[in-house]
Amino acid sequence: KPSAAGPGLAGRGRAMGKPMPAGGCGTQKASAAFVLGLAVAILAVLLGPAFTISPRFDSDAGARSPQCPARVTNATLFDLQGDGAGGRPGGVDASAAGVGGSGSQRQNLDFTSARDGRGLSLGKLCDRFVVTFRDYKLVGEHKARLSQRLNARLNETQRSAWEWVDRKNVALKYPTDFGLVAVKDRSVLDVLRSVDVVRDVFADAKMAGRRELLGTTEREHKLALEMVSDSLKPGDILAKGPGRLHTPFSSDRPGEPSRRGRGLISRALSFAQGFNFSSFKRSQIKSLYKPEELWKKGITGKGIKVGIFDTGVREDHPDLKNIAMRVNFTYQQSTSDGLGHGSFVAGCIASVSPGCPSNAPDVALHTFKVFTDDQTSYTSWYLDALNYAMVVKLHIINVSIGGPDWSDKPFVHKFRELVGQGVIIICAHGNAGPDYGTANNPGDEHWSIAVGGHTDDFKIAHFQSRGHTMQEKPFGYGRIKPDVVAYGHQVSSLRMERGCKEASGTSVASPVAAGIAALVASSVPESEWHYKLTPASMKQVLQEGAERLPRESIYIQGPGKANLHKSFEAMQRYEPKVTVFPGSIDLLDQDYMWPLSKTPLYATAMPLIMNLTITNGLGAHGYFEKEPEFTATNKLGEALDVHFERINVLWPWSGWIAIFVQVRDSGRNLTGVAEGVISFTIRSPPFPGEREGRSQRVEVPFKAKVIRTPDRNKRVLWDDYHNIQYPPEYVPIDDLNYRKEMLDWNGDHPHTNFHPVFDALTDNGYYVEVLGSSLTCFDASNYGTLALVDSEGEFHAEEIEKLHNDVSEGGLGLLIVGEWWNKQQMRRMKFFDDNTRDIWTPIVGGANVPALNRLLADFGIAFSDEITTGQIRLGRNVVSVNTGTSIKAFPARSSLFTLDGGLSPVLGLTRVGQGNVLAFGDTSAFDFNTHANLVPSLFLDFVKYTAGVAYPSWFKAGTVHNEAYENGNMKARLPNPSEGLDAKTLKILRRPLECHTNARRPKEMPVAERPLKPEEPVANPVVPDAEVIMNGIHKVEEKVATAVDGLLDVNHALAGPSEEDATSNVGGAMPHTGIVQAYFQRQLFGFLVVVVCLCVLIVWRKVHSGKRSKLRATKNRYTRLRQIV
Q: Where in the sequence numbering do the catalytic residues fall?
A: 310, 341, 507
The C-alpha atoms of residue 519 and residue 639 are separated, in whole angstroms, by 48
Answer yes or no: are the C-beta atoms of 506 and 584 closer than 8 Å. no
Residues in a beta bridge with 917: 814, 910
Classify strands 813-817 and 785-789 as parallel, antiparallel or unpaired. parallel
End-to-end CA distance of the chain: 26
User: What's the gap between Cα 391 and its chain centre?
Assistant: 30
Which backbone phi and psi does 455 adopt, to 5 degrees?
-85, 180
Report the DSSP beta bridge partners of residue 816. 788, 919
Say which amino acid occupies 918. Answer: L
State the CB neighbour count (10 A cutoff) for residue 850: 25
The H or E element containing residue 806 is: helix 797-808
Q: Report whether 391 contacts 315 (CB < 8 A).
A: no
Q: What is the 8-class DSSP label of residue 662? A: E
CA distance 777 to 1001: 9
Q: Do 468 and 555 meet the contact criterion of CB atoms below 8 Å apart?
A: yes
According to the 3-state scheme, what is the secondary structure of 598-619?
HCCECECCCCEEEEEEEEECCC
Residue 987 has phi, psi (to 5 degrees) of -60, -30
At CB < 8 A and 24+ separation, what contacts does 950-958 make?
952/874, 952/875, 953/875, 954/874, 954/875, 954/877, 955/895, 955/909, 957/873, 957/874, 957/875, 957/897, 958/895, 958/896, 958/897, 958/907, 958/909
How crowded is residue 14: how many other Cβ atoms within 10 Å of its Cβ?
11
Q: Do the beta carbons of residue 980 and residue 986 sit within 8 Å?
A: yes
**Which helix or strand (DSSP H or E) is residue 984 part of?**
helix 983-989
Contact criterion met (CB below 8 Å) for 169 and 327: yes
Q: How many CB atoms lie within 10 A of CB 1019?
A: 6
Angle at 566 between CA 565 and CA 567, to 5 degrees: 90
Q: What is the CA radius of gyration of the chain?
A: 33
How far is residue 468's CA from residue 170's CA, in Å, rounded to a whole number? 39
- The sign one gets for the Cα dihedral 125, 128, 133, 136 is positive
How far CA 29 is from CA of 3, 23, 34, 37, in Å, comes to 17, 10, 8, 12
